């Protein structure tokens, strides 16, 4: 009796079969279901692709079902904290909207930020907040939503606004010493954290400067909404909410929690609770409206507050565009995304256990002849793993494990691998609809991934910049020559 769980390693061509099934069925699904794709159709497609992968693994490659099941469970377990964070983000966005925190930020932000500089300012603000928090998810779910509202008031398209928000947020996520992806990439490759961050600046700063230039040019050429439309919008906002600067301590409390390095789950939970209390104080009429109770008493207020955390809320403002902007979905609005992530983890686990990821990455290894080819293959592999595993953390770990020895044999420094992983994995994760990051940002901002993808210039430029720098050979040392 053989002890090996796998009797045959799938060929690269066979390994691409589940990917082809996934992409083909998703294309058909998106065409048929359009905006309702995430309500269940995409989940079914991911499970179907997983079934195809498992069938090949069991009946052709001889992989035991127990091994596949273990890999799937391991994948789901690895994102359990992310799922909890996602639910709290839903509660946070609902409570911040109903309490008036986000409407207040939109109200004063629209007065302060000039339309010509909106996109570039948005990108810079999100970058700074993300550097301080180390989290693109928290940045987008808080200040990102407020900036999204300001952009809508000023007449910008959803794709442009989301692109500016995500570009800035992932710049910070990539270079912040507090970011889990930054720490993970440096740890997997054995690179000191700040050495890794300094080396990333070679590709990250030029990518960001190009991004800001594009947003600046587009901002100057943008035709802003008329003052009449803006005044009408602002009047409706002021009429529906109690707009007051006394609400600003709510985001300040969250900032303090972040500075004190409070765990993300605790930070999000406490921030949502503080916003709920603020809603009781400043927006009691809205809570009565949300509760739907006939009597306006303490129980009605309590019911309305609790509903802001978990349920969909629709505030009637007298302005259709503002009604859509201020509508929230709470924790329940995140359940489709949670469901999708679990199904994506099933696909990633089956691809890993079957050995198909190994078969696919062997294709990229063939192009690793020179520096440019090595970096290009690493970037391509990282992007592809983002597609297959649907999770940036798994992609970072797998890319680092696969290429660590290759880089060592070729004499490249560890920091080159750690930087390339970030350029290829971290920033591209929100561009893939079924990746945990893509699903989260799409859900939080209410913009389809393919709608904002063309405008995430930082995320699109970074992998290309990594390859360009490799071709030039700037500050890429061969340790074998140095040793000699």
Point out the domain boundary residue: 295, 314, 329.
329
The encoded tokens of residue 221 equal 């050429």
Answer yes or no: is pLDDT of 29 > 60: yes
Mean pLDDT, to the nearest integer, of 9-16?
A: 84
- Give the residue with greater pLDDT, 82 vs 114: 114
Percent over 90 (pLDDT), the chain? 28
Check whether residue 97 and residue 64 sit in a common domain.
no
- Give the residue with greater pLDDT, 21 vs 410: 21
Tens of pLDDT, residues 267-311: 889 999 999 999 999 999 899 988 888 778 889 999 999 999 998
Check whether residue 46 and residue 117 sit in a common domain.
no
Instruction: Indicate whether 415 belongs to any domain.
Output: yes
Point out the domain boundary residue: 329, 344, 370.
329
Percent over 70 (pLDDT), the chain? 94
As a whole number of angstroms, the distance between CA 119 and CA 465 comes to: 22
pTM, to two decimals:
0.77
Predicted confidence band of residue 7 (pLDDT cuts 50, 70, 90): low
As a whole number of angstroms, the distance between CA 447 and CA 376 comes to: 30
| Residue 224 Cα to chain centre, angstroms | 28
The count of residues in the chain is: 484
Answer yes or no: is pLDDT of 60 > 50: yes
Check whether residue 28 and residue 127 sit in a common domain.
no
Tens of pLDDT, residues 207-227: 999 999 999 999 888 776 666
Q: Which range marks the domain in which residue 473 is found?
A: 12-78+334-483
Point out the domain boundary residue: 295, 329, 363.
329
User: In total, how many domains does the chain have?
Assistant: 2
Instruction: Indicate whether 1 belongs to any domain.
Output: no
In sequence order, the 6+-apart residues with CB closer than 8 A to the CB of 374 are 368, 406, 407, 410, 412, 470
Answer yes or no: is pLDDT of 369 > 80: no
């Amino acid at each position: 009796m053989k002890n090996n769980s796998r009797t045959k390693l799938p060929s690269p061509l066979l390994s691409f079969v589940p990917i082809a099934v996934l992409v083909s069925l998703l294309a058909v699904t998106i065409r048929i279901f359009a905006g309702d794709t995430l309500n269940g159709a995409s989940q079914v497609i991911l499970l179907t692709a997983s079934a195809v992968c498992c069938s090949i693994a069991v009946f052709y490659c001889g992989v035991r079902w127990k091994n596949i099941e273990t890999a799937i469970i391991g994948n789901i377990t690895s994102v359990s904290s992310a799922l909890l964070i996602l639910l709290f983000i839903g509660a946070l966005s609902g409570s911040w909207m109903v309490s008036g925190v986000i409407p207040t930020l939109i109200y004063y932000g629209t007065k302060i930020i000039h339309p010509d500089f909106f996109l570039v300012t948005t990108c810079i603000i999100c970058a700074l907040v993300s550097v301080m928090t180390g989290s693109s998810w928290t940045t987008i779910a808080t200040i990102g939503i407020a900036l999204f509202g300001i952009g809508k008031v000023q007449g910008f398209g959803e794709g442009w606004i989301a692109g500016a928000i995500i570009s800035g947020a992932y710049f910070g996520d990539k270079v912040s010493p507090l970011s889990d992806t930054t720490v993970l990439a440096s740890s997997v490759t054995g690179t000191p954290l700040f050495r890794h961050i300094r080396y990333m600046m070679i590709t990250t700063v030029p990518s960001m400067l190009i991004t800001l230039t594009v947003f600046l040019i587009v901002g100057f050429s943008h035709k802003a909404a008329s003052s009449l439309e803006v005044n009408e919008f602002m009047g409706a906002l002021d009429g529906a909410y109690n707009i007051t600067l006394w609400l600003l301590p709510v985001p300040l409390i969250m900032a303090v929690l972040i500075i004190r390095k409070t765990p993300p789950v605790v930070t999000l939970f406490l921030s949502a609770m503080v916003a709920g209390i603020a809603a009781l104080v400043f927006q009691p009429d809205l809570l009565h409206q949300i509760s739907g109770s006939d009597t306006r008493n303490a129980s009605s207020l309590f019911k309305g507050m609790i509903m802001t955390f978990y349920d969909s809320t629709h505030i009637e403002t007298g302005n259709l565009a503002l009604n859509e902007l201020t509508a929230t979905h709470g924790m329940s609005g995140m359940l489709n995304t949670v469901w999708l992530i679990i199904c994506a983890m099933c696909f990633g686990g089956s691809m890993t256990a079957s050995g198909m990821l190994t078969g696919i990455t062997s294709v990229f290894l063939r192009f690793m002849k020179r520096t440019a080819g090595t970096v290009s293959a690493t970037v391509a592999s990282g992007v592809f793993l983002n597609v297959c595993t649907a999770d940036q953390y798994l992609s970072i770990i797998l890319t680092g494990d696969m290429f660590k020895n290759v880089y060592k044999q070729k004499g490249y420094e560890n920091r080159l691998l750690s930087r390339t992983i970030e350029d290829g994995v971290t920033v591209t994760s929100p561009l893939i609809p079924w990746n945990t990051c893509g699903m989260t940002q799409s859900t939080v901002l209410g913009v389809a991934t393919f709608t904002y993808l063309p405008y995430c210039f930082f995320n699109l430029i970074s992998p290309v910049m990594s390859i360009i720098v490799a071709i030039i050979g700037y500050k890429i040392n061969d340790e074998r020559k140095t040793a000699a």
